[in-house]
Structure 1
Amino acid sequence: MHSPAYYCARPFVEGLMRAHAPQRQLRVLDVQPLPVDSSASILAVLTAGQTSRPVGHFGLQVTFEMDGQPARTERMVLKLKPPGHEVSAMLAGLAQACGGELAQTYPAFAARSGFHHTHHRELALYAHHADAALMPRIWGLHQDDETAEVYAILMEYLGEQVELLNTVMQPEAWTDAHLRAALDELAAWHARHLLPAGTDAAPVTWPDLPSAAYMQQLTPLWQALLANAAQHHSGLYGPARAELLREAIARIPEYWAELAAAPRTLIHNDLNPRNTCFRRAADGRLQLCAYDWELATYHVPQYDVVELLSFVLDADRYHLRPHYLEYYRQQLHARTGRFADAEAFRRVTGLAALDFGLHRLGMYLMAHAVGPYPYLPRVVDSYFDTLAQLQPLRPEPAYA
């Protein structure tokens, strides 16, 4: 197994760039290290301590010639990803450290909790959507399943030239202008990848795609994650909140009958200030950039918005949540013509929030019990305000 220096050296970087743009005449002249902060990448940071393979983000300053043009220098980041089975093993270790019901339950579901295919998923997303405005520029991809299990992404360096990079601890930095720009870009992405009406099957075969069957089969895991949150974080998951999510688990067959009938799209599934920033266009317009697509999946488009607003709306802005949800609906409907019913849209948003709480927040709280994340308590509070506003467990007509 090679050291990080091997992958950061000129020959490997040149190979990545040439393979990514085979039609170009390209030669890398020099590669120099560049400091980069990778602390926001939770999976890479946690797994790095559990593996002997090179894992993490490595900043590079790459000087190269392309198509006979004068040499240019670009800042890039080389992301070396752990294989998904190592991520799953790391998370299983966290479950064991939590003890109790979760330690007993998690092993049976470790490969289905959404993390076992992260290495293939992110590379596939970047390969098929390399020119998407919502994504960082990709300079090269490398996938080695057979020998060293090396998964590399060479992408643009998101540094001084962007705004709100890793602002998970500064939600107040997300102004109304930033939120509207983010919702505009999300609506455009979700509209572009919305499954056609009457289509049940997503165009991928990931075994952990959300569905009624998936959510019901993993019921023991959702119960164990909730019990763990209530045990270790009773200040956040008091009796009323815990009971609310217990009821949600019991009603998975009922509420997923509605979700299954709602339009689905390709979602980021980890959309929050740890994985986003903004560029400024030449005309001053803000443009959202989302990275770390390793958890991407197919779900209702509202799911990404539920997560984003849970992360960036503190108590002083809870009252704006309905305003932003309606703004996003209008943008999505303008692009698709499929979301005219505002009440039905709110209904499905609330149901998506139930899934987010049972799955993603449950996993967050598992990790939080072992190594606290200082931003998580306010995210949990904001999330439960989402449920309080949308009342998804209140009987409503099925989504039409």
Structure 2
Amino acid sequence: MSDVIPGRGQYSEEARRKRLAWLRARSGAALASLGETGLSAQHLVGNVENFVGSVEVPVGLAGPLLFHGESARGDIVAPLATTEGALVASASRGARAVTASGGVTTRVLAQRMTRAPAFEFADLATAQRFTAWLHDQRERLHEQVRLVSRHTRLVDVDPYQIGRHLHVRFVFETADAAGQNMTTAATWQICRWLTDELAAQEALRPRGLLLEGNLSGDKKTAAVSLLAGRGTRVTAECALPRHIVASVLKTTPEAMVKGHVTTVLGAQQSGMTGYGVNAANIVAALFVATGQDVACVHESGVSIFSMEQDGDDLRATILLPNLVVGTVGGGTALPHQRELLTALGCAGPGGARRFAEIVAGFALALDLSTMAAVVSGQFAEAHQRLGRARRVDFLQPGDLDAALLQPVLARGLGDPGLHVTRVRQAAPLHGDGISSELGALAERRKLTGLHPLTVTYTTGRGEPATVELVAKVKPRGDEIVSGIARLLSLCGPEVSRAWGRWGADTEFADAHRREPAVYRRTETALTGLLPRCYGLLEDDEREAYVILMERLHDESGPWTHDRIADALRAIAAVHGHWLGREQELLAGGWLHRVPEPAHLAKARELWEALARQAAADQPGLVGPDRLAVLLGIAEDIGYWTQELQALPRTLVHHDFNPRNIARQDGRVVVYDWELATVDVPHRDVVELLAFTLGPDATAPQVDALLAVHRDAVAAVSPRAARLAGAADWHRGHGLALRSFLTGRLALYLTGHGQREFGFLPRVAHTAFRLWDLDRARDGD
């Protein structure tokens, strides 16, 4: 095989594919992801050589951030290209704080680009004479620049002599281009002219010349760039009232300023150029998204960030002294990058100043959010990873193959001779589920989520078969708890600390074991409700917990009264079967053990912290009256939980809502049982009604559906007689509603500020409507 890359200098799809085939043969790697690209080879002349493919970087939206700049004005959303988790969320939090405080003021102070050739002379005196001569040639130098570019203007000539060596820093303005190429061409033209002009003048002529002597600071952090400027010099400022610092950033102006002083001392001792917190993250993310020269992130990320108290406000400023950006030329012409520049209102001539102001504004927002996270302890919590005492061979995407699935299917279908012949990826589902997303926040090295597969196999009798199934790969329960901790870390120390103390004892503990245990049960009341299970894999060594289940195609329509009633009758079969047998259920060791009332009372700080955070983040959903409801329930938790525990309990799904219910082949199917636990049967009813009735629910509607469920449970269980009376059944409903409001709903509401749940506003309004109806029934 040739060691020469094929198709050199050729910009065609055929040449690209030849290079890709050559690289595959040379490396032995499949490189499947490079097979297709959205870029056209012939349009990349001047951008890249030996083009072989493209790499995708996720782009997330941060903001909006309110700007009061000269060029950037109004609410602006920034596209950040990054693979660093929490960056977009943190930038958005900072933007929310700044916008709620009235916005950020931005100004471009100057725009410069430099090139610094180095001249060698016969001796020190010649170098000095040349310097004096060059000083008198400004108009002629301008003429040379105009020969190269009408957009480039020479604004300064700054000599630095060291003995017989002279470095000359030529400083240009380059309009809307970043300018490195412009200034290189202009400086080269100047150097050619100097060489010709002085060819016969021994007393002035340089002996040697380098076009760049490394004094310009190109793509490097340099003190000269910090002081004299290189690229765009842009600044941003904002003032945050105390209550915004407290409610959004979860700290105080005093703590921010104190932390700032401490970190400045650390920066001084480290020899840091400038002083910043996290500006380079914004610079890099916006550079990649908009086609800037990524190699300039090093110098462009240099910043001077400052904070001080201004009365009761926190005033913050940032200076980016050498932000190398452009909106014409280079990578800004590539299709995706051009579209994002257009979305920012920065594409083409006239956009560079606006773009620089946007970078500065979001850099300031991110620095504020990051500093707040550091001083309040959120930074460590947001980046925590579960510790493991050993290396784990986690499941990876390619592991869902015939070798892995064959023994699982053979056991699941009771056919030792079964042989899997092919496994193919099937059409994807919509989303992976909240639990998988939360688990991935804590542990991203392993495969989790829902993976539709088409599996072809032959039975032990040689009969061919093909089945459409979903491999549900579950995160561990402690990963879900840790993922929630990471989500809540931006909600401030009160919520974060409370979750750290009590989160491990919530319903998410051991979630990875509960659902497989449900699928192992043989009771008809349960199996008649579950999707068909083709097999289970539980491998603690690999932390692999997989359920192979039928792929569901929901045949249901809107959630009418009849459909809700059908779902309640279906789950009532489970409720009735185990009603009053909670000790038997718990003795099996496969369900989460519900905390005792005394333990729940001790965790009151968590329920109160969630309620207060929900009210702060979602005032439209949790106003003062609703906050009082949540805090009142939490205050009395030690009492009503005792009453709740005294009622007959049963196996409950504990996540019984439309996201986990389908109709398949005429029957109700209930899936996603990872939160299954022991509770009163009303707990599933409350959740379903909150998700399906709507905020205009009436007492007769609720009463009719409670009666449907009560009668269906009583038809299965003689133990239901203890709760057969309408008053007793309604009391169980009211107690379960308390549990749902202060626990699951409050957690949804708190997380909603960081991870939008589209269903939540309607559910929240409906849940509080159910509370009002329940209070009216009790005469409160």
Same fold by TM (over 0.5)? yes
Residue from 673, 676, 680 that aligns with 1:300: 680
- Give 1:254 shift: 2.1
- Aligned residue number for residue 136 of structure 1: 531
- Tell me the distance in 1 between the aligned counterparts of 2:602 and 2:468: 45
Q: Given residue 446 of structure 2, which amino acid in structure 1 is its aligned partner?
A: R
- Aligned residue number for residue 106 of structure 1: 499
- Aligned residue number for residue 9 of structure 1: 401
- Tell me the distance in 2 between the aligned counterparts of 1:371 and 1:254: 33
SS at match of 1:234: coil
- Aligned residue number for residue 268 of structure 1: 653
Whether 1:20 aligns to 2:412 is: yes
Whether 1:330 aligns to 2:714 is: no
Contact 1:31 1:62 in 2 (8 A): yes
Contact 1:212 1:256 in 2 (8 A): yes
Alpha-carbon spacing, 1:234–1:45, altered in 2? closer, same or farther (3 Å): same
Q: Structure 2: any 5+ residue segments left out of the alignment?
A: 1-392
Alpha-carbon spacing, 1:70–1:350, altered in 2? closer, same or farther (3 Å): same
- Aligned residue number for residue 638 of structure 2: 253
- Tell me the distance in 1 between the aligned counterparts of 2:474 and 2:627: 35
SS at match of 1:294: coil
Alpha-carbon spacing, 1:262–1:237, altered in 2? closer, same or farther (3 Å): same
- Correspondence list, 1:251-400, <5 A: 251-281=636-666, 287-319=667-699, 320-337=701-718, 338=720, 339-391=723-775
- Aligned residue number for residue 438 of structure 2: 46
- Aligned residue number for residue 284 of structure 1: none
Residue from 565, 579, 585 that aligns with 1:194: 579
- Aligned residue number for residue 121 of structure 1: 514
Q: Given residue 707 of structure 2, which amino acid in structure 1 is its aligned partner?
A: E
- Correspondence list, 1:77-226, <5 A: 77-129=470-522, 132-145=527-540, 147-159=541-553, 162-164=554-556, 173-196=558-581, 202-205=586-589, 208-226=593-611
- Give 1:305 shift: 0.5
Contact 2:394 2:543 in 1 (8 A): no
- Tell me the distance in 1 between the aligned counterparts of 2:579 and 2:531: 21
- Tell me the distance in 2 between the aligned counterparts of 1:128 and 1:362: 32
SS at match of 1:68: coil
SS at match of 2:761: helix
> Normalized against structure 1, the TM-score is what?
0.88
- Tell me the distance in 2 between the aligned counterparts of 1:71 and 1:255: 58
Range with greater deviation from structure 2 (325-334 or 302-311): 325-334
Contact 1:7 1:13 in 2 (8 A): no
Alpha-carbon spacing, 1:151–1:196, altered in 2? closer, same or farther (3 Å): closer
Contact 2:696 2:766 in 1 (8 A): no
- Tell me the distance in 2 between the aligned counterparts of 1:376 and 1:31: 37
Q: Given residue 478 of structure 2, which amino acid in structure 1 is its aligned partner?
A: H
- Tell me the distance in 2 between the aligned counterparts of 1:40 and 1:173: 23
- Aligned residue number for residue 167 of structure 1: none
- Tell me the distance in 1 between the aligned counterparts of 2:746 and 2:593: 16
- Give 1:316 shift: 4.3
Deviations 1:266-310 (A, max 9, x none): 0010111111111233xxxxx221111111100000100100010
- Tell me the distance in 1 between the aligned counterparts of 2:777 and 2:544: 44
- Tell me the distance in 2 between the aligned counterparts of 1:175 and 1:94: 34
- Give 1:155 shift: 0.8
- Tell me the distance in 1 between the aligned counterparts of 2:394 and 2:498: 36
Alpha-carbon spacing, 1:11–1:318, altered in 2? closer, same or farther (3 Å): farther
- Tell me the distance in 2 between the aligned counterparts of 1:394 and 1:184: 26
- Tell me the distance in 2 between the aligned counterparts of 1:261 and 1:82: 33
Range with greater deviation from structure 2 (119-128 or 73-82): 119-128
Whether 1:74 aligns to 2:458 is: no
Alpha-carbon spacing, 1:130–1:333, altered in 2? closer, same or farther (3 Å): closer
Range with greater deviation from structure 2 (132-141 or 331-340): 331-340
- Tell me the distance in 1 between the aligned counterparts of 2:432 and 2:537: 22
Q: Given residue 390 of structure 1, which amino acid in structure 2 is its aligned partner?
A: D
Contact 2:409 2:534 in 1 (8 A): yes
- Give 1:142 shift: 1.0
- Give 1:252 shift: 1.7
Larger Rg: 2
- Tell me the distance in 1 between the aligned counterparts of 2:662 and 2:585: 32
Q: Given residue 773 of structure 2, which amino acid in structure 1 is its aligned partner?
A: Q
- Tell me the distance in 2 between the aligned counterparts of 1:280 and 1:330: 25
What percent of counterpart residues are identical? 31
- Tell me the distance in 1 between the aligned counterparts of 2:595 and 2:765: 25
Deviations 1:48-67 (A, max 9, x none): 34421111111111112224
Range with greater deviation from structure 2 (122-131 or 7-16): 122-131
Range with greater deviation from structure 2 (134-143 or 204-213): 204-213
Range with greater deviation from structure 2 (200-209 or 384-393): 200-209
Deviations 1:44-103 (A, max 9, x none): 123334421111111111112224262121100111111122111111111111114202
- Tell me the distance in 1 between the aligned counterparts of 2:728 and 2:615: 31
- Tell me the distance in 2 between the aligned counterparts of 1:341 and 1:148: 50
- Tell me the distance in 2 between the aligned counterparts of 1:49 and 1:105: 19
- Give 1:193 shift: 1.9
> Normalized against structure 2, the TM-score is what?
0.46
Contact 1:210 1:299 in 2 (8 A): no
- Tell me the distance in 2 between the aligned counterparts of 1:300 and 1:13: 38
SS at match of 1:266: strand
Q: Given residue 711 of structure 2, which amino acid in structure 1 is its aligned partner?
A: Q
Alpha-carbon spacing, 1:34–1:200, altered in 2? closer, same or farther (3 Å): closer
Alpha-carbon spacing, 1:254–1:296, altered in 2? closer, same or farther (3 Å): same
- Tell me the distance in 1 between the aligned counterparts of 2:482 and 2:394: 22
- Give 1:262 shift: 0.9
Q: Given residue 105 of structure 1, which amino acid in structure 2 is its aligned partner?
A: A
Deviations 1:22-53 (A, max 9, x none): 45532222211102215161111233344211
- Give 1:200 shift: 8.9
Contact 1:351 1:392 in 2 (8 A): no
Q: Given residue 650 of structure 2, which amino acid in structure 1 is its aligned partner?
A: T
Contact 1:35 1:58 in 2 (8 A): no
Which consecutive aligned stretches of 4+ in structure 1 deviate over 6 angstroms post-superposition? none
Deviations 1:160-189 (A, max 9, x none): xx324xxxxxxx811233212111101111
- Aligned residue number for residue 30 of structure 1: 422
- Tell me the distance in 1 between the aligned counterparts of 2:411 and 2:703: 46
Contact 1:216 1:252 in 2 (8 A): yes
- Give 1:227 shift: 1.1
SS at match of 1:369: coil
Range with greater deviation from structure 2 (251-260 or 116-125): 251-260
SS at match of 2:646: coil
- Give 1:376 shift: 0.2
- Aligned residue number for residue 106 of structure 2: none
Alpha-carbon spacing, 1:208–1:243, altered in 2? closer, same or farther (3 Å): farther
Alpha-carbon spacing, 1:243–1:393, altered in 2? closer, same or farther (3 Å): farther
- Tell me the distance in 2 between the aligned counterparts of 1:74 and 1:201: 33
- Tell me the distance in 2 between the aligned counterparts of 1:82 and 1:59: 17
- Tell me the distance in 2 between the aligned counterparts of 1:330 and 1:256: 25
- Give 1:16 shift: 0.9
